[in-house]
Amino acid sequence: MADADTLREPASGVIPSDPVPPTGDAGMPEESVMTLVDHLSELRDRLVKCIVVIAIGTAIGFYFAPVVRNFLLEPLPNGQAQVLGPGDGFAIQLRIAVVIGIIIAMPVLLYQVWAFIAPGLTAAERRTVRPWIPLALVFFAIGVALARFVLPYAVNFLLSFTDDKLVANIAAGPYFDFVTTMFLAFGLVMEFPILMFGLSRVGILTSERLSAYRRYVILGIAVIAAVITPGTDIVSPVVLGLTMYVLFEVTVQVIKRTGR
């Protein structure tokens, strides 16, 4: 009598192999689904890379900070500001260096953001959104340049309310707080066309919907421009608001041309 192991063998004598993993449309194994822990780990790794790049950019910026500082002081009377404490000079140079570091690191920061969100998009969406990533750097540069253009007019407007009794002895600390905040705010706000286009590619926004809510968008732009600008002058929010509105209209036309 044949033993039980022989009876359990297939008639062909071939031992079945391990099951084949499921394949996708292209005949390749499906990508494994990332867990929440995997996403958080990836986010942590990319944040660490961003911090390291900003630190390197800050080290470079610290060397060039005095030149940038003098350039930013030009709109003030005599191109001078006074420090009120022994550590103010170092704090100001460090603040300027950090802003320079962020600007230098911006290409890497944009790439890290793209690399984190790209796996959640379809192949068609990635092909459509990818060309806009370099444009994000261009929009950030436009925002920084716009801030530098607006700065003298904002300073002149604010100093126009001083006289021989209310003397404009500008403290360096508050002035550079104002300047650096303005530069970063203008640069980051200029990224909103990229956000609009990305939301249109995933079906959240359409050109028809944006056009229908244009008046609310204009109100939102006015509020954002008034809140995001650090000073109390009129020039900064007006210029920023007008620029945002022009970019909004251009982005709506681009979205419409893509069929959305």
Rounded mean pLDDT, 106-119: 80
CB 179 within 8 A of CB 72: yes
CB 245 within 8 A of CB 222: no
Give me the phi and psi of 23, to 5 degrees please. Answer: -115, 155
> Residue 202 corresponds to which tokens in the numbers above?
């995933």
Residue 14: exposure state from Cβ atoms within 10 A (0-12, 13-18, ≥19) = exposed
pLDDT tier at 60, thresholds 50, 70, 90: very high
Task: Determine the number of helices (DSSP H) and then strands (DSSP E) in the chain.
Answer: 10, 0
- C-alpha–C-alpha distance, residues 189 and 244, integer Å: 8
Q: How far is Cα 184 from Cα 195, in angstroms, rounded to an integer? A: 17
Question: Comparing C-alpha atoms, which of 137, 81, 131, 73 is closest to residue 105?
Answer: 137
Look at residue 145 and tell me whether its pLDDT is greater than 50.
Answer: yes
Q: What is the mean pLDDT of residues 223-244?
A: 77
Nearest to 189 by CA among 112, 243, 116, 133: 243
User: Mean pLDDT over residues 220-234, rounded?
Assistant: 76
Q: 């904002």: which residue's tokens? A: 154
Select the more confidently predicted residue: 31 or 159.
Answer: 159
pLDDT per residue over 149-159, tens digit each? 888 888 888 88
Q: Tell me the pLDDT of the chain averaged across its residues.
A: 77
Predicted TM-score (pTM) of this structure: 0.66
Q: What is the pLDDT of residue 253?
A: 83
User: What values do phi and psi take at 195, rounded to 5?
Assistant: -65, -45
Q: What is the pLDDT of residues 62-101, one digit of tens each?
A: 998 899 888 888 888 787 888 888 888 898 889 889 988 8
Give the model's pLDDT for residue 225.
Answer: 79
pLDDT higher at 48 or 198: 48
- In this predicted structure, the answer to whether residue 30 has a pLDDT above a threshold of 90 is no
Examine the pLDDT at 258 and tell me if it is beyond 80: no
What percentage of residues in the chain have a pLDDT greater than 90?
5
Mean pLDDT of 214-239: 78
- Judged against a pLDDT cut of 60, whether residue 23 lies above it is answered with no
pLDDT at 161: 81
